[in-house]
Structure 1
Amino acid sequence: MGKGIPSRQEDYSAWYNELVKKADLAEPSDVRGCMVIKPYGFSIWEKMQAELDRMFKETGHTNAYFPLFIPKSYLSKEAEHVEGFAKECAVVTHHRLKNAEDGSGVVVDPAAKLEEELIVRPTSETVIWNSYRNWIQSYRDLPLLINQWANVVRWEMRTRLFLRTTEFLWQEGHTAHATRQEAVDETEQMLEVYATFVEQFMAIPVIRGLKTPSERFAGAEETYCIEALMQDGKALQAGTSHFLGQNFAKAFDVKFATKEGGLEHVWGTSWGVSTRLMGALIMAHSDDNGLVLPPKLAPIQVVIVPIFRTEEQFNAISQKVNLLKAELQQLGISVKFDSRDTHKPGWKFAEYELKGVPVRLAIGPRDLENNTAEVARRDTLEKQTMAMDEQFPQKIQDLLTEMQDSIYQKAHTFQQENSQRVDDYEAFKKVIEQPGGFVYAHWDGTEETETKIKEETKATIRCIPLNAEAEEGQCIYSGKPSTRRVLFAKAY
């Protein structure tokens, strides 16, 4: 099976694009900027979704669903919000088509113009807070902890599968609280949920931080984020959690009766991750042979490939494999027995290597005689012959656990080796240009300086790291006093 994937060193962008397609994760659709997520890609997203949904529910959240269409007037109620999303909105203006008089097809019926245009949701704060006005009357209704799994549309001119598409899948949490502190605690809690998921399941280390005022979510008082480093030295924002203050509560007049008998606006948060995490998963771990998937998110954790020449050999191997498969599944391991006779074992090996299946077992007639199996691990491409004794299923489970940790440690080492502290602008420009990575440097706190650095180097302040120690210094650009270093990088 010829993979036909460029190397990362040769062309990282082409490597990524081809890998997404060759590994059967997704493909472009006929609608510009939109993608078709194929079954194998969607099965990875489903595993992500299942783990995140479990974590959300463990923290007291419940799922709901809100309309895809948002009245235009809703977006006008929160000034910063509409300004932040106005250029990305898709707008529905008519509700009917009709046949063209010349028989050329269908056209928009001019008589079917909507009285008020509808926005295809770019995010749901406005439509959700409009509902919250009816749901929240008293302190007894708080906190309100809602999440929804949905699709959104943000019109994009330059797109890339998973990383930036016009339509994408995501979850968005929207919560309402009685006090400012409760809302801040919620915002920080959900950031930690995201960080835990990305580190423990996606095996990607992240930096937790605050966005600068210019990079905040439109309508938020603070935006918290997690930043991950990809193999080409660029950063990728892997999740955000927003403290909304009372901005949307005031815009939609969401008030509650307090215990003391007063009437106050509630405090809000919103938080979300999207199918962009699929892009992060691919770029953080994969190699020139194909995907490398952390076992916790691999749709198939173990694939068993039989090697046989005769039907008799196949039947004997199948008997053994079916017993082994049941034992592995009892341990919660997802197993595929590839019994196809339409492809040779070598072709299958290449296919599962490309798709990032963590462990491959090859079993032939000689293995049956010796009660052994060839065990190949995807992350290091190492092979070994192991006895298929009573401990064999547990050994495979232990191997998967070891691989999960090993993949994380490799990414963590890469992040550390590609993180630098710089103290002057010339050094900063050299590092950002080549080899890139995370750069910790002093910044004077002004939007003017932030903009200048971005214009001159294409590097942005990814975040102000949380819990970073105070450190007196001078801004690398302006020379003005600074009290801490911030994280710079070029980013997706």
Structure 2
Amino acid sequence: MSKNLTKRETDYSKWYNELVVKADLAENSGVRGCMVIKPYGFAIWEKMQAELDRMFKETGHQNAYFPLFIPKSYLSKEAAHVEGFAKECAVVTHYRLKNAEDGSGVIVDPEAKLEEELIVRPTSETIIWDTYRKWIESYRDLPLLINQWANVVRWEMRTRLFLRTAEFLWQEGHTAHATEKEAVEEAELILDIYAEFAEKFMAMPVIKGLKTESERFAGAVETYCIEGLMQDGKALQAGTSHFLGQNFAKAFDVKFTSKEGKLEHVWATSWGVSTRLMGALVMTHSDDLGLVLPPNLAPIQVVIVPIHRTDEQLDAITDKVNEIVKELRNKGISVKYDNRTTYKPGWKFAEYELKGVPLRIAMGPRDLENGTLEIARRDTLTKESISQIDVIDYVEKTLTDIQKSLFDKAFDFRESHITEVNTFEEFKEVLNTKTGFVSAHWDGTAETEERIKELTKATIRCIPLNNEVEEGKCILTGNKSQQRVLFAKAY
């Protein structure tokens, strides 16, 4: 299993691709650029989904569902939006197939052409805002706080499992507000939710910031983001929240009657995270032996493997294990007892190591006699023999410690890979030798941003929200700058 896994230092990209497949998270499908998410991978996504869904609902959001297909004319109503997504859209032109006359198979029926082509949603702003026009009449209908869990299609040419696929799963929130202030507060609230989820559940430290104008979501006035740093020193955008102003409300004529009796356009936000978080989870913590999963998102937090030679020994071990399993589950801990006799314990150890199960318990006949068992931690690869009486408390405390340790390790790595530079030569040297985030002055122009990208392949990941005003000079042009921004090479 893990013996055949490419080492990270040898080829990080190949290591990632192999690990996603070998750990049974996902695989490429028969449809170009699309993936099959396998049960183990989907179990992790379900845990992500459940926690985020809870956090959204606790802040007043409700789930709904909108059509997969969007009339082409809808995309034309918001100019920046259509320009941003035009090159990625899949288009439905016909609604029927028929058998070819020569018997070669099915063909598109030329007589079944749609009057108006349909776009397979790359994102749902347009179809949702057309719907909101019917839902919103007065200030009493606001705020409207809607989220949907869905799939979207963006026709990517170069794909990689979870990180960039033609079809992916996500949630997209779309909200309408009476004032600009309320909409901005909503966008910032969601950013905080994303950051809290990333750090508390994924154990992935993130930097909250603003995107530059050229990196904003198509049609947004402002885009907020969380940025994580992967083990190879590349950044990954893990979530975005957009203040849309009144752009979509005006495009789709969504108005409300205010308390003062005036007819006004609403203010809007949209926000989303996707199965890209799965890729971030893999790359933040995993090692050359396989996945390393934080307990808060691990489908199996504890696995118990019996070690036996006879059926009688297995039966005796199983009786004791069943007691432990019941107690652990009563504590809300997900546990699996792997008593398959078709695989040897060593094979099972390797399998659960590859799959990143946080804790592995082994119990044999001698453990049964002595009232002990052996527990191995996936994050540190350490083993300890403990009393069976202490196992429940030990597991609870150790799972908490693993969660914290994984975050601390990732945080220390991130902090040691943020480097301040003041010249373009320093900038290039850090990118080539140390990688990670580079904190540097930028003159605020799109031209300079694009030129730096052309010369180094590094982009401005964000303008950190906690940035202090600091006068300086742009590393490329020497023009005045009021603050540092974070550059990095990114996924």
Per the shorter chain, which TM-score range? over 0.9
Q: How far apart, in 2, do the equivalents of 1:326 and 1:407 lie?
A: 27
Structure 1 Cα separation of the partners of residues 273 and 23 of structure 2: 23
Instruction: Report the Cα offset of residue 434 of structure 1.
Output: 2.1
1:274-322 Cα shifts (integer Å, max 9, x gaps): 0000000000000000000000000000000000001110000000000
- Tell me, yes or no, if the aligned pair for 1:3 and 1:354 is still in contact at 8 Å: no
Amino acid at match of 2:114: L
CA contact (8 A) 2:2 2:289 kept: no
* Distance in 2 (alpha carbons) for counterparts of 1:99 and 1:72: 28
What is the alpha-carbon distance in structure 2 between the residues aligned to residue 417 and residue 435 of structure 1? 10
* Corresponding residue for residue 228 of structure 2: 228
Distance 1:62 1:218 in 2: 25
Q: Give, in angstroms, the shift of residue 392 of structure 1.
A: 2.0
CA distance in 1, matches of 2:236, 2:112: 43
* Alignment correspondent of 1:462: 461
Matches within 5 A, 1:162-311: 162-311=162-311
- Paired residues of 1:3 and 1:22 also in contact (CA < 8 A): no
Asked if 1:57 corresponds to 2:57, the answer is yes
- Rounded to whole Å, the distance in 1 between the matches of 2:467 and 2:444 is 15
Separation in structure 2 between the aligned mates of residue 248 and residue 210 of structure 1, nearest angstrom: 21
Aligned to 1:46: 46
| CA displacement at 1:3 relative to structure 2 | 4.1
**Which residue of the partner structure matches residue 321 of structure 1?**
321
Match of 2:9 in 1: 9
**SS, match of residue 324 in structure 1:** helix
Residue by residue over 1:105-154, the C-alpha shift from the partner in whole angstroms, topping out at 9 and shown as x without a partner, is 00000000000000000000000000000000000000000000000000
In 2, Cα distance between equivalents of 1:384 and 1:333: 20
> What residue identity is the alignment partner of 2:408?
Q
Q: For the Cα contact (< 8 Å) 1:470–1:484, is it kept in 2?
A: yes
Residue correspondence of structure 1 range 80-119 to structure 2 within 5 A: 80-119=80-119
In structure 2, list runs of 5 or more residues that go unmatched. Answer: none
**Aligned-partner SS, 2:130:** helix
1:350 & 1:67 partners in 2: Cα distance? Answer: 44
Alpha-carbon distance, 1:394 to partner: 1.6
Aligned partners of 2:192 and 2:418: how far apart in 1? 22
Instruction: Tell me by how many angstroms 1:4 deviates.
Output: 1.2
Distance 1:470 1:402 in 2: 37
C-alpha distance after superposition, 1:246-300 (max 9, x if no partner): 0000000000000111100000000000000000000000000000000000000
Q: List runs of 5+ in structure 1 lacking aligned partners.
A: none
- Give the structure 2 partner of residue 491 of structure 1: 490
The answer to whether the aligner puts 1:355 opposite 2:355 as a matched pair is: yes
Q: Which residue of 2 aligns with 1:407?
A: 406
Q: Percent identity?
A: 75
Give the partner amino acid of 1:339. Answer: N
Q: Distance in 2 between matches of 1:153 and 1:432?
A: 33
Provide the C-alpha distance between the structure 1 equivalents of 2:119 and 2:382, rounded to a whole number of angstroms: 52
Matched, 1:368 2:407: no
For residues 424 and 330 of structure 1, what CA distance do their matches in structure 2 show? 58
Distance 2:27 2:211 in 1: 32
Once the two structures are superposed, the pairs formed by residues 416-455 of structure 1 within 5 Å of their partners are 416-455=415-454
Describe the shift of the 1:375–1:119 C-alpha distance in structure 2 as closer, same or farther (beyond 3 A). Answer: same
SS at match of 1:24: coil
**What's the RMSD between the two structures over aligned residues?**
0.6
Task: Find the counterpart in structure 2 of residue 377 from structure 1.
Answer: 377
State yes or no: 1:472 paired with 2:471.
yes
SS of alignment partner, residue 53 of structure 2: helix
TM-score by length of 2: 1.00
Q: Distance in 1 between matches of 2:34 and 2:432?
A: 31
Render the CA deviation track for 1:32-70: whole Å, top value 9, x for unaligned.
100000000000000000000000000100000000000
Find the aligned partners of 1:457 and 1:294 in 2 and give their Cα distance.
Answer: 34
What is the distance in 2 between the residues matched to 1:65 and 1:143?
Answer: 18
The aligned counterpart of 2:331 is 331
Q: Is contact 1:61–1:145 with CA below 8 Å preserved after alignment?
A: yes
1-side partners of 2:303 and 2:37: how far apart?
23
CA contact (8 A) 1:421 1:441 kept: yes
Give the paired residue count: 491
Post-superposition CA distance 1:390-424 (Å, at most 9, x none) = x3202101100000000000000000111100000
Instruction: Give the deviation of 1:467 after TM superposition.
Output: 1.8
After the TM superposition, list the runs of 4 or more consecutive aligned residues in structure 1 that deviate by more than 3 angstroms.
Answer: none
Partner of 2:296, secondary structure, is helix
The one-letter code of the counterpart of 1:442 is H
Counterpart code for 2:477 = S
CA distance in 1, matches of 2:290, 2:6: 10
* Whole-Å separation in 2 of the counterparts to 1:76 and 1:337: 56
**Partner Cα distance (1:382, 1:421) in 2:** 37
2:152 aligned partner: 152
Distance 2:2 2:147 in 1: 43
Q: For the residues of structure 2 that align with 1:194 and 1:366, how far apart are their CA atoms?
A: 47
CA positional deviation for 1:2? 5.5
1:130 and 2:158 aligned: no
Deviation track 1:347-377 (CA, whole Å, cap 9, x = no partner) reads 0000000000000000000000111110000
- SS of corresponding position for 1:340: coil
Q: Per-residue displacement from partner, 1:171-192 (whole Å, max 9, x unpaired)?
A: 0000000000000000000000
Tell me the residue number matched to 1:37.
37
**Structure 1 residue 432, shift from structure 2 partner:** 1.0
Q: TM-score, normalised by structure 1?
A: 0.99
Query: For residues 438 and 52 of structure 2, what CA distance do their matches in structure 1 show?
Result: 30
Work out whether residues 99 and 105 of structure 2, in 8 Å CA contact, stay in contact via their aligned partners in 1.
Answer: yes
Q: For 2:192 and 2:295, how far apart are their aligned partners in 1?
A: 22
- Checking the alignment, whether the CA contact within 8 Å between 2:304 and 2:360 is kept in structure 1 is yes
